[in-house]
Amino acid sequence: MAEDDIGESWNATDTAYTSAANRPGPVTRLRHWLTDLLMPPVCLGCQEAIASRDSLCPQCWSGIDFVGAPLCDRLGIRLPYATGDVMISAAAAARPPPYARARAVAHYDGAMRDLVHGFKFRDRHEIRRLFGTWLCRAGSQLIADADIIIPVPLNRFRLLQRRYNQSAILAREVSRISGVPVLTGALRRGRRTKAQVGLTREQRRDNVRGAFDVPPRQRPRIEGRRVLLVDDVITTGATAEACTTTLLKAGAANVDVLAVAIVSDPLSVTT
Ligand SMILES: [Zn+2]
């Protein structure tokens, strides 16, 4: 996809999610102008000077493999051809996931992998607004159907280690743009799980099985709700599946999954 095509579709999405009341007023516009003057915008990937804030330079744009149609409606992975109908991949037909639909912005490689690493491990949180815009575009149907947004939780140890739950940051951005409320604290990650790096799909599933729970007093906040689960990366789907199973047991009507990146070949992930 050409860079201009991407730019146009982003603008269309922005318009869809921006009500007149949310447009910046003259004071905000003046503040933005002054900020641009004092701190000129740079590419969020390579820090090269660019024309607008919260964006990427053409080289970094072209290094991102955006997940576009045709898609498997269940797993959100790209399919080789379109038939015009809702399509399901062979993988989803053979083993349907507990969640209804997954969507991701881009494949987890190239520039996207660097951006996600910076966001997760080097506290490069300035990219959250761009990620939020991308998530709202990739997940527009899921967001339209959601009652609440729930981020994939970290356990307390990991939260102390990383200081932030990056999925919660993404969930808040999607909420800010879309107006769908975020619910935190209802889905918890109880026991500490091993890092998923280097594990096979089955090992990952075993590793996260039973790791999540919804405290009984939180169940009324979940019951009957259509949930949009937000994560940073879908690797094998094991974490999203464990969260979904827990949320459905707690009474959620439906769970969809939205992530910034998806791994097309989970066995290739080494870091
Ligand atoms: Zn760049």
Task: Answer yes or no: is 262 within a domain.
Answer: yes
Q: How far is the CA of 41 from the centre of ligand 1 (A)?
A: 11
Q: How far is the CA of 72 from the centre of ligand 1 (A)?
A: 31
Task: Answer yes or no: is 143 within a domain.
Answer: yes
Task: Answer yes or no: is 122 within a domain.
Answer: yes
Q: What pLDDT was estimated at residue 267?
A: 52
pLDDT at 5 over 50: no
Q: How confident is the model at residue 193 (pLDDT cuts 50, 70, 90)?
A: low
Q: How far is the CA of 104 from the centre of ligand 1 (A)?
A: 21
Q: How far is the CA of 44 from the centre of ligand 1 (A)?
A: 6
pLDDT at 171 over 50: yes
Residue % of the chain over a pLDDT of 90: 58
Task: Answer yes or no: is 88 within a domain.
Answer: yes
Per the structure, the count of domains in the chain is 1
Q: How far is the CA of 127 from the centre of ligand 1 (A)?
A: 12
Q: How far is the CA of 123 from the centre of ligand 1 (A)?
A: 18
pTM: 0.83
Q: Which domain holds residue 137?
A: 69-268
Residue 81: which CATH number? 3.40.50
Task: Answer yes or no: is 39 within a domain.
Answer: no
Task: Answer yes or no: is 189 within a domain.
Answer: yes
Instruction: Enter the DSSP assignment of 49.
Output: B
Mean pLDDT over 241-245 rounds to: 96
Task: Answer yes or no: is 60 within a domain.
Answer: no
pLDDT at 43 over 70: yes
Q: How far is the CA of 51 from the centre of ligand 1 (A)?
A: 12
User: Helices in the chain by DSSP H: which ranges?
Assistant: 3-17, 26-38, 58-62, 90-94, 110-121, 128-138, 140-144, 156-162, 166-178, 201-208, 219-222, 238-249
Mean pLDDT over 4-17 rounds to: 33
Q: How far is the CA of 189 from the centre of ligand 1 (A)?
A: 36
Task: Answer yes or no: is 31 within a domain.
Answer: no
Mean pLDDT over 122-134 rounds to: 91
Q: How confident is the model at residue 196 (pLDDT cuts 50, 70, 90)?
A: low
Mean pLDDT over 238-250 rounds to: 95
